[in-house]
Amino acid sequence: MVIGFIDTGIDPTHSSFADHTSEHPYPVPAHFSGICEVTRDFPSGSCNRKLIGARHFAASAITRGVFNSSQDFASPFDGDGHGTHTASIAAGNHGIPVVVAGHHFGNASGMAPRSHIAVYKALYKGFGGFAADVVAAIDQAAQDGVDIISLSITPNRRPPGVATFFNPIDMALLSAVKAGIFVVQAAGNTGPSPKSMSSFSPWIFTVGSASHDRVYSNSIILGNNVTIPGVGLAPGTENDTMYTLISAVHALNNGTTVADDMYVGECQDSSKFNQDLIQGNLLICSYSIRFVLGISTVNHALETAKNLSAVGVVFYMDAFVIGFQLNPTPMKIPGIIIPSPEDSKVLLKYYNYSLERDIMTKKIVKFGALATICGGFKANYSSSAPKIMYYSARGPDPEDNFLDDAEIMKPNLVAPGNSIWAAWSSVGADSVEFQGENFAMMSGTSMAAPHIAGLAALVRQKFPNFSPSAIASALSTTASLYDKNGGPIMAQRAYAFPDQNQSPATPFDMGSGFVNATAALNPGLIFDSSYDNYMSFLCGINGSAPVVLNYTGESCWVYNSTIAGADLNLPSITIAKLNQSRTVLRSVMNVGGNETYSVGWSAPFGVSVKVSPAHFYIASGEKQVLSVFFNSTANSTTASYGRIGLFGNQGHVVNIPLSVIVKITYNTTKT
């Protein structure tokens, strides 16, 4: 299997992409015809039997005068880090040690560690990317013969025109699907508001981001026995020894005042401080909005602490940084970032209360506050997971610029996307915290999509004749609806304090649910859709004929019957407007052994549902048509959700989410 990545390139020197880590040789698949560009940044020998293709696309960027070859690398080399990270999530080698800040965090593996990687760099550190370069990359990947395309990129605005589906990237991906390629795209990090989806079309498999249960947390124990939790991939102080706490603003040298430098509390410059005071103590620094913006950095503060011989650093959260989610940050010396403004106040209150001042001069004569830092290297697996992250883009899928609802379920699925360890480029600049490291922990739907790209490679390996929509169906219908404790998967509903603002996830938060890789390899039944079906859907959109002709070179006259979105043979049903009643058909094909299925369902609020037949026998390789009858029982403009379950007597369970947005009913009274 060959997975094509359209991203910021790759660092070919990383051990996650070496081809000698396994006893088994890696033959390059015969169906792949791609090449490796050779440049000064990407010398001959950069590719191997694992990394089998690498090109870069920048014609549009160069035409617009924004390409800076010294910063952006006119080659497939990754100057950012993002592309190296996503490629290793899907297809990085198995058993690669994750060593960051000199500490070993375990071993990494991609989802499909024996698959091959082809890289199509169309995004750049300095300016992002242009649709024309992305389209060129997609077309080249399809010509080269990749099996799967992974896109951890989304447009930065909703496409104009008659429908969101008619944008250059979605249309280029339709051509790839026509060629039999499974395409995966990140949903976007624009959640949690409804209709924030940035991946629109039914032929694209759209992935949202969920948490996993591995959490790194450290803590600080104050001299008054209060323990405050925090983050930091950092060592603890030695043997639970209590050290004196000193705030940066109380340890200035004689030539510095807070009035001169209002940011001095951020500990960015060691020349501003009195080493005699700080030496052997814990330095307290403030973590402000400037850290979020990258103007100040944790690394600079750690450098300051080291230069002044501090034992460690304690960062408290500035009150203006509200609801910002911190990734654990690697630190070579003992350290902690307290992410909660409330907890930060507890620390500062204790610190200020413990200061002894001269009654006359008000000068500090004794720093009385003590603390010890407990290290944050050890992972804890106690949190409930998965949950849908607040930033993960949500449905319903917007059909056009007026935000009309498309009858296409988005996202399709969620996968792990938060705090993901994966390979990092040697010059990766996307994350200041992990600069110079071989691995980085990143969060976003960008990290969720390649999990699915790798798992799709495993599905295609097992079922070589599956169409892209059949792979999508296998992943969707087998997804899990429950967290690890057996409760419903929860969705975070707010950017600020997301864990205090959550409720059970709906299909517009998580699509069919959380990916279940093992079940996807044995789906039982699949829903199949063809390129012609997608064309019939596009031709059914009002005013679409000239746009379809422009993008595909095909006339809508060829497709004598058109279909609505709800009538595409997808493993989900979304009805934007249920005017009294509607019947939707679905066809399933048995890819398992002979089996008898019984059908169960729960209806959305304000709707009655009936599925026929309610029981059926289906032989291996045969098809069965299901009729789903919807009837509106209450007027409502809020979306409501239901589910159809097909339960096979051989153990297969096929899960079909339902969503109905607007319900219209006419009450008639007898006279």
523 CB neighbour count, 10 Å cutoff: 26
Output DSSP code: residue 460. H
Quick one: angle between helices 82-91 and 445-462, nearest 10? 30
The residue from 14, 46, 78, 82 that is catalytic is 82
* Among 44, 90, 53, 65, CA closest to 515: 90
Structure tokens at 379: 């992972």
Question: Known catalytic residue: 446?
Answer: yes
Structure tokens at 391: 């930033």
Beta bridge partner(s), residue 108: 96
Beta bridge partner(s), residue 302: none
What are the C-alpha distances in Å from 614 to residues 597, 627, 650?
Answer: 8, 10, 17
* Among 656, 525, 528, CA closest to 597: 525
d(CA 457, CA 382): 31
Question: For 608, left (φ over 0), alpha (ψ -120 to 50), or beta?
Answer: beta
Q: Is 305 helix (H, G, I), strand (E, B) or coil?
A: helix
Question: Known catalytic residue: 530?
Answer: no
Burial bucket for residue 585 (CB in 10 Å: 0-12, 13-18, 19+):
exposed
The residue from 446, 473, 544, 659 that is catalytic is 446
Beta bridge partner(s), residue 474: none
Burial bucket for residue 294 (CB in 10 Å: 0-12, 13-18, 19+):
exposed
Tell me, what amino acid is at 87? Answer: A
Number of H helices, E strands in the chain: 15, 34
Looking at the chain, how many residues does it have? 671
d(CA 410, CA 463): 25
d(CA 185, CA 201): 10
Order of strands across the sheet with 623-632?
525-527, 581-590, 623-632, 607-612
Structure tokens at 571: 């493993």
d(CA 269, CA 288): 15
Supply the DSSP string of 624-657, one letter for each residue.
EEEEEEEEE-S-B-S-EEEEEEEEETTS-EEEEE
* Among 422, 406, 525, 449, CA closest to 106: 422
Question: Known catalytic residue: 11?
Answer: no
Supply the DSSP string of 163-201, one letter for each residue.
-TT-SHHHHHHHHHHHTT-EEEEE--S--SSTT------
Sign of the Cα pseudo-torsion (593, 594, 598, 600, in order): positive
d(CA 560, CA 557): 6
Could you tell me which residues come within 8 angstroms of residue 671 by beta carbon, excluding any fewer than 6 positions away? none
d(CA 39, CA 34): 16
512 CB neighbour count, 10 Å cutoff: 27
d(CA 376, CA 62): 45
What are the C-alpha distances in Å from 258 to residues 128, 248, 264, 266, 365?
Answer: 38, 10, 7, 11, 19
Enzyme catalytic residues: 7, 82, 446
